[in-house]
Structures are given as structure tokens and as C-alpha cells.
């Protein structure tokens, strides 16, 4: 099977590549870039991608697939389909499944379920058994089975002592610990603490809940020379703490979600639980700090924190509704609209944050766009204007606050593992 991607703008920051060219892919392998002749076109399916960007496949390092345990809200298959629709060829999935990803069996289960899919699924192992914060999970066994990082996401690693031991142990594998930074004693609220929470009468989470855990983690990481990745950073002070840690040369990285650079707590005045997430939406000042952090490199990457919940759960009374929203199918559009089209990031920087850096953090090879390599590509149109329609989502659930949002920039196709996703369908190439 032969396909030609005609006149794409190929950008791979990892190869210092930015050129307009044609790509010939045969049986999933890049055979030729440029100078295509008549023979190359014969029997090939040609995609006229004039003006579209072709980057190494995008990667989302923070996704909640609900399998095993809550297959009614998302399965490995539906989550992978949503990833493909959103422009991603690789995702890392968080261990807060039921059972948690705290044994080789669960890693193997996820890997077997994701076999043969276009999207590569990389399991993240739990730091502690059952994510309870008491005993270390079998880290070596999980690494052997294929876990690419460790996290108790949903909560922070419970104690400084467990965190220290996990970081020391992980040094054997040079893998990061991904931390959901939230001090347990200050947790439990339904939104960000401030003027809006006071006005709405909702129990609230102060930014110090995040900042304190970021501080703790940076201190412990410094002490043991460990590697910590701060998940879904959301407070201005936390960004500054990471900036200072990086300046000291510590192995600290960070991600931000689209909702934390796109929305503020003001959205909560509707009491719409699709705006309820943890960390909560913060203030305009925090949003500015996220964008500043993305610009100066303090924040390494963008990740969705894709968190499917059933309609029934999300429609509960506000304080009882679960935290989290879908992210995979809106992430690229939100990032292009808010960051690239508002001139905060260049396309090259955006591709770094959505493709190159997450793989670097997880020690996953970055797809190379060159002859002889496996085609692992995302083709997107940075200028397509479209309206989000949750009814068209591939995800099993519909908990997105972005329904009906007008976005600029959309994935056109993804290619990986000799498969292509284009116009809503998968096909072998």
C-alpha cells in the first residue's frame, strides 16, 4: 500500500526540520521525501495536503483510560480512537484504574488491549500499591512489563518518605515520577479559593495546596537527585517554583492542560460541573503565568488530563460531581487557537510541547521524519475554523465544557503502525 502526502509543511524540531515537501509512505515506512517521480505516484493514494503541517505524531502524556474498571465511561479502544481523532499517535495512561496499574498483569492487560491500534498506549505505573500511599508498588516489575513513568495521580504521593524512596528507586531506570501536586489537608474543595468561590458559596481549594506539594517535591528531588514531572500545573506560584528549580539545574519538568491556559474560575458562575476539575480553574493571573511558563520553557509540555465521566455522574449536584473533563479531541485546537494564533508560541514550539518534549520526559524515542523510518505522523491544519461538537466525539462520554466552542486549528490525519486515521475512519496503509 502506497500513499503520498502532497505538499505538506514538514516540521520536526528534533531534526531542525521545517520544509515544504512531498512524502511517499509505503507499507507504513517513509520511502521518499521530495523529488517524487511518476512511478512514485502510480498506484499510490494521493492526499492533497497543501498548506497542512506534518509533524512527528503528537503525544499526550496524561490520559485517563477507564479500563480496567469503568469501561462504561472509556475503554482502551475508545480512548485510543479519541486520541487518533484529536491528532495523537501516542498516549500515556494514568494508573488510577480499578484495579490500579500496580502489577505487571495490569500493564500486560493494557498493552494487549492496545495492540494493533494506530495509537501507542504507554501505561504509567502506580507509585504505591493500590495508590494508597503506604507501600511501594513493584516498580521494577512494572518497568520490566513496560511502565514508562510512575504516579499516584488523583492524589499526591502521600508522604515525603514514600516520595523519597520512590525517587531513589526510580533512579535505577532514569524514569520520572509524575506528581499530582495537592496537599491532602488542604484538598477536598470544589473550585479554586478566592472571590468567586466566596460569591458562589462553594467549598474551595487554595493555590497553596498545589504550591506546598510542588515545594516538597522539588526539595526531595534535589536531595536525592530524583526526577519529578509536575502534572497539570495550574498556579502562578507553582510555575515560579519550577522555574527556579530548573534554573538550579534540578530534574524537574512540568505540563499544563489546555483548560488551565484557556479558562478561568469565572466560568464556574454557571455551576456547570463541566467546569469542575482538579486542579480547579484558577484566575486570570494564573492563566497568564501558564502562558508565560510555556513561552519561557518552564512548562515543557501540554497534556490533556483527559478524564471521562458518565453524564449521570457529572449531572449530580455540583459538590458531588466528579472532577475532570475530556481533553483528547479538543487539545490541539485549543492550543493552536490560544497559543499559536495569539502569538504566544510558534508552531515549532507548539510541536515541541505536544510531541517532542513529552516523549523526552518519558524516554520514548521521538519519531524521525526521514527515509527508512516508520511513519509516525500527525497532519494538521492550523487555520481550519471549526465548531466543537461533543456528539461527534469518539470518547464514550461527553463531559466537555468546550462543546460549541469555535476553534482555529484541527487535526487532519494521523499515521502510525501502518495505519492511517483520516476523515473519521481507520485504514491500513
Partner 1 sequence: MSLKIKHLLGLQDVSKNDIQLILDTATTFREVLERPIKKVPTLKGTTVVNLFYENSTRTRISFELAEKRLSADTLNFSTSTSSAKKGETFKDTVRNIEAMKIDMIVVRHQSAGVPLYLTRISNASIINAGDGRHEHPTQALLDMYSIREKLGKLNGLKVCIVGDIAHSRVALSNIFGLKTMGAELSLCAPPTMIPKNIEQFGVKIYHDINKAVRENDVLNVLRIQLERDAGTTIPSIREYHNYFGITTDVIEKNNKDIIILHPGPINRGVELSSEVADGPYQIILDQVTNGVAIRMAVLYLLGTKNS
What residue ranges bind partner 1 (CB under 8 A)?
193-195, 197-204, 206, 270-271, 312, 315-320
Least distance in angstroms from the C-beta of 70 to partner 1: 16
- Are the C-beta atoms of 194 and 283 separated by less than 8 Å? yes
Write out the DSSP string of 227-268. -EEE-S---HHHHHHHHHHHHTT--EEEEE-HHHHH--GGGG
- Are the C-beta atoms of 325 and 308 separated by less than 8 Å? no
Write out the DSSP string of 286-318. HHHHHHHHHHHTSS-EE---B----HHHHTS-G
Least distance in angstroms from the C-beta of 192 to partner 1: 10
Q: Which is nearer to partner 1, 196 or 230 (CB)?
A: 196
Q: Which is nearer to partner 1, 99 or 189 (CB)?
A: 189
In angstroms, rounded to a whole number, what is the distance separating the alpha carbons of residues 301 and 359?
A: 10
Spatial CB neighbours of 270, under 8 Å, sequence gap ≥ 6: none
Residue 205 vs residues 22, 265, 275: alpha-carbon distances, Å: 51, 12, 14
The helix/strand/coil state of 220 is helix
Least distance in angstroms from the C-beta of 264 to partner 1: 15
**Phi, psi (rounded to 5 degrees) for 262:** -115, -30
Residue 178 vs residues 146, 167, 170, 278, 309: alpha-carbon distances, Å: 16, 10, 12, 15, 22
Of 14, 60, 305, 381, which is the active-site residue?
305
Least distance in angstroms from the C-beta of 315 to partner 1: 5
Least distance in angstroms from the C-beta of 321 to partner 1: 9
**Catalytic annotation present for 211:** no
> Which positions are annotated as active-site residues?
305
Amino acid at each position: 500500500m502506497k500513499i503520498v502526502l502532497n505538499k505538506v509543511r514538514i516540521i520536526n524540531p528534533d531534526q531542525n526540520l521545517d520544509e515544504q515537501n512531498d512524502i511517499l509512505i509505503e507499507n507504513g515506512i517513509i520511502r521518499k521525501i521530495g523529488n517524487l517521480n511518476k512511478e512514485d505516484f502510480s498506484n499510490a493514494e494521493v492526499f492533497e495536503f497543501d498548506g497542512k503541517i506534518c509533524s512527528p505524531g503528537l503525544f499526550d502524556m496524561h490520559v485517563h483510560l477507564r479500563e480496567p474498571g469503568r469501561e462504561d465511561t472509556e475503554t482502551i479502544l475508545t480512548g485510543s480512537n479519541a486520541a487518533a481523532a484529536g491528532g495523537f499517535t501516542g498516549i500515556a495512561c494514568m494508573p488510577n484504574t480499578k484495579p490500579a496499574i500496580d502489577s505487571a498483569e495490569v500493564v500486560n492487560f493494557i498493552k494487549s488491549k492496545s495492540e494493533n491500534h494506530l495509537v501507542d498506549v504507554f501505561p504509567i505505573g502506580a507509585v504505591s500499591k493500590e495508590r494508597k500511599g503506604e507501600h511501594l508498588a513493584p516498580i521494577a516489575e512494572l518497568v520490566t512489563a513496560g511502565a514508562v513513568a510512575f504516579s499516584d495521580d488523583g492524589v499526591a504521593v502521600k508522604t515525603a518518605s514514600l516520595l523519597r524512596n520512590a525517587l531513589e528507586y526510580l533512579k535505577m531506570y532514569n524514569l520520572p515520577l509524575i506528581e499530582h501536586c495537592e496537599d491532602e489537608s488542604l484538598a477536598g474543595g470544589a473550585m479554586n479559593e478566592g472571590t468567586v468561590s466566596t460569591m458562589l458559596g462553594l467549598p474551595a481549594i487554595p493555590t497553596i495546596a498545589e504550591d506546598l506539594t510542588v515545594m516538597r517535591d522539588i526539595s526531595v528531588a534535589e536531595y536525592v537527585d530524583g526526577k519529578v514531572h509536575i502534572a497539570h500545573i495550574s498556579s502562578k506560584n507553582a510555575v515560579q517554583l519550577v522555574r527556579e528549580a530548573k534554573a538550579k539545574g534540578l530534574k524537574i519538568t512540568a505540563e499544563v492542560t489546555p483548560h488551565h491556559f484557556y479558562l478561568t474560575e469565572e466560568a464556574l458562575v454557571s455551576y456547570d460541573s463541566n467546569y469542575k476539575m482538579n486542579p480547579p480553574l484558577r484566575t486570570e493571573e494564573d492563566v497568564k503565568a501558564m502562558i508565560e511558563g510555556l513561552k519561557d520553557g518552564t512548562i515543557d509540555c501540554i497534556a490533556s488530563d483527559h478524564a471521562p465521566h458518565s453524564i449521570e455522574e457529572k449531572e449530580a449536584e455540583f459538590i458531588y460531581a466528579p472532577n475532570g473533563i475530556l481533553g483528547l479531541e479538543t487539545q490541539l485546537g485549543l492550543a493552536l487557537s490560544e497559543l499559536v494564533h495569539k502569538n504566544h508560541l510558534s508552531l515549532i514550539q507548539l510541536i515541541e510541547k505536544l510531541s517532542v518534549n513529552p516523549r523526552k520526559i518519558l524516554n520514548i524515542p521521538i519519531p524521525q521524519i526521514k527515509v527508512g523510518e516508520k511513519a509516525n505522523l500527525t497532519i494538521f491544519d492550523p487555520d481550519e475554523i471549526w465548531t466543537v461538537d461533543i456528539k461527534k466525539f469518539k470518547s464514550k462520554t461527553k463531559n466537555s465544557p468546550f462543546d460549541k466552542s469555535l476553534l482555529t486549528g484541527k487535526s487532519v490525519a494521523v499515521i502510525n503502525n501502518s495505519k492511517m486515521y483520516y476523515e473519521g475512519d481507520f485504514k491500513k496503509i
